[in-house]
Amino acid sequence: MTTDPVAVVRTCLELMQDGGAVAALDLLDPDLEWRNSGYPTLRGPRAHAAFRALEDRGIDFAVTFHHIGVDVDDPEVVLTDRTDVLGLGRFRTEFWVCGTFRVHEGRIVLWDDRFSTGNLVVGALRGLVRAVTP
């Protein structure tokens, strides 16, 4: 297992995309703090349960990286600029995400995603239109 922070974050998100959220759990610290703009912060077992619930509910995930790199002042911090896609059945929503991750000893201890609620709503509306039209 690599401990390179950028590789850990990239691998985690790619595992979620390719194998489901449960596949990524090994790269998440047991005491993970998971933050998403406007939503309650989840910690430890509750955060891990949320990842399992994504897969249990059949929610698909895909990611397109635009930029990813380490913070020059803190080499444990990885910054991402990406587009995430969440899907369920025919429904897909795409939205821009700015993520800050802290990686310690090869595991993500902090996952902090920020995104525009307006961008999320527009993406969801587009996804609904695509889901109901041939």
Q: Confirm whether 132 is domain-assigned.
A: no
Q: Confirm whether 133 is domain-assigned.
A: no
Count of domains in the chain?
Answer: 1
Which residues does the annotation mark as catalytic?
Answer: 84, 113
**Residue 59 pLDDT:** 92
**Residue 67 pLDDT:** 98
Averages of pLDDT over runs of 10 residues in the chain (134 residues) are: 91 90 92 94 96 92 97 95 94 94 97 88 85 84
**Residue 123 pLDDT:** 81
Read off φ and ψ for residue 41, nearest 5 degrees.
-75, 135
Residue 106: which domain range?
A: 5-86+97-115
The CATH number of the domain where 42 resides is what? 3.10.450.50
